Amino acid sequence: MEPSEIRRLIALEDRHWWYRERRAILRRELRGLGRPGRAVDVGAAGGGNTRVLVEAGWDATATDSSAAAVELARQRGLNAVRADARALPFEPGSVDLVTAFDVLEHVHEDHLVAEEIARVLAPGGHALIAVPCDMALWSAHDDAVGHVRRYGRESLTVVVEQAGLKVDRVWSWNVLLRPLVACHRRRSEGSDLRSMPGPVNAGLSVVVRMERYLPVKSLRGVTLFLRARLRR
């Protein structure tokens, strides 16, 4: 992600419906993982998800391949190191949780990223992964933000399991808004990362929050979430 995109993300993430609800998903998942320990947030950009980890009591480190992203995360008071997701600077079995939101789709060798996640996890440690879903939604947005691919449930599961992780759950997110996203993406000419009018942002927030209570997670969405763990 370009430094300008990272700065734009930081400016938007605390109020933008997309990022606010994804952080809410992360918080809910963290509550089910038991006692906090050491965490690594891979591809952290400005550290928005890392902040959630720290607030939940985790000893969290943000990593990103971008020097600008690392510096911005440090300016926000976060522990951050520059690192390639394919070669994480952590000892084998030294981490209790790895988060990788919107990382795998940027790397041609996504299997190497999954293998690194498995390598650094302690036995029984968890991974929380999010990726864009479905090549049918490919658009100028994907080109603009440097995506290599979008995933299906099977392709994501295969990459993670071949790395030695046991998949606990895969689910869709942003299901209700998928038709709107698909329509918008067909006309888009670049990144969707931009501010929007308050009433529009509030309306989209209401719709996407409804997915917390509706049985839609098995349907096709815009994003796939996956929770996995290292076999003991």
- Retrieve residue 15's tokens: 């109020």
Q: In this predicted structure, what is the pLDDT of residue 122? A: 97
Predicted model pTM: 0.93
Q: Map out the domains of the chain as residue ranges.
A: 3-230
- The highest-level CATH class for domain 3-230 is alpha beta
CA distances from 195 to 12, 115, 198 (A): 7, 36, 9
21-53 pLDDT tens trace: 999 999 999 999 989 999 999 999 889 999 999
CA distances from 155 to 62, 98, 104, 116 (A): 26, 20, 12, 18
- Retrieve residue 2's tokens: 């370009």
